[in-house]
Amino acid sequence: MNTGAFLQAIRADGRAALDAARRGLDAPVPTTPGWTVGDVMAHLGQVHRQKTHIVRESLVDEVPDGPRPPAGVDLLEWFEEGLHELTSVLAATDPATRVHTWHEPDQSVGFWIRRMAHETLIHRVDAELGHAIHTPVDPVLGADGIDEILTVMMAGWPDWAAVARSEVTVGLESEGRSWQVRFGSWSGTSPKNGRRFQDVPGIELVTDAGRPTAVVRGPGDALDLFLWGRGSADGLVVEGHPSVLLYLRDVAADATD
């Protein structure tokens, strides 16, 4: 997908989230326990404003979270203003511009353009599920979301960790694209905060592992939403042991928490 397609997705899914939220802000969201639709909109608006600030100012160092909606403000007007500001700033900025991101290999505005397309999509789905709405997801955007979650959010281990690699490999196929991952776990103590980790499940991308142990196939929308915990396994086909789906979902849940 190109920059224009990502920006179009941000606008469309942001508007769809607004449409859902106008049905009521107090509705509970089943995919984010303890949150209401209003909480989802406040969170997404906060994320949008933080990224707008990073890109507009070309910031290369870590920044605090974006501002929460002020007390007494009309939440949906506040959200809509932030959505417009975000897309305007992203559209006016060269995607190659260097800015801070949490993904070390890609310190560019282009990273945030892609990330905000998927962030907005997932929370649009949250807002709609709060009102039992099921609007289709573009399968091409979904396939890109699969790639993002596998290659950016889930894959790899901390460079300070001890890794136990499994012999289990899984192929994933969707919308003419394919990936292969190896299961494993890692342990160690973070040098940043001293936190101890033990046997944390994970995956790594592989290209030379031969025939996979299992293969998961499905439409881009179905597989993307499943990995994000926003959809069921209906529509997915597994060749091999079905437990691979549960493992992938567990690792994805940890990576996207």
Q: What would the pLDDT profile of 179-224 be if each residue is shown by its tens digit?
A: 999 999 999 999 989 999 999 989 999 988 788 999 999 999 999 9
At 111, is the pLDDT very low, low, confident or very high (cuts 50, 70, 90)?
A: very high
Beta carbons within 10 angstroms of residue 219's beta carbon: 16
pLDDT at position 113: 99
The share of the chain scoring above pLDDT 90, in percent, equals: 82
pLDDT at position 179: 95
Mean pLDDT of 229-246: 90
| Cα separation, 180 vs 51, whole angstroms | 31
Domain limits, CATH 3.30.1050, in the chain: 141-255
Fold classified for 3-135: Four Helix Bundle (Hemerythrin (Met), subunit A) (1.20.120)
Mean pLDDT of 9-18: 98
Domain limits, CATH 1.20.120.450, in the chain: 3-135
| Cα separation, 181 vs 166, whole angstroms | 11
pLDDT at position 105: 92
Q: What is the pLDDT of residues 50-66, one digit of tens each?
A: 999 999 999 999 998 99
Give the CATH architecture of domain 141-255: 2-Layer Sandwich (3.30)
pLDDT at position 216: 95
pLDDT at position 241: 86
Q: How far is CA 199 from CA 89, 136, 158, 202, 250, in A?
A: 42, 37, 13, 9, 13
The share of the chain scoring above pLDDT 70, in percent, equals: 100
Which amino acid is it at 151?
T
- With 80 as the cut, is the pLDDT of residue 257 above it? no
Least confident of 15-24, 31-40, 150-159: 150-159
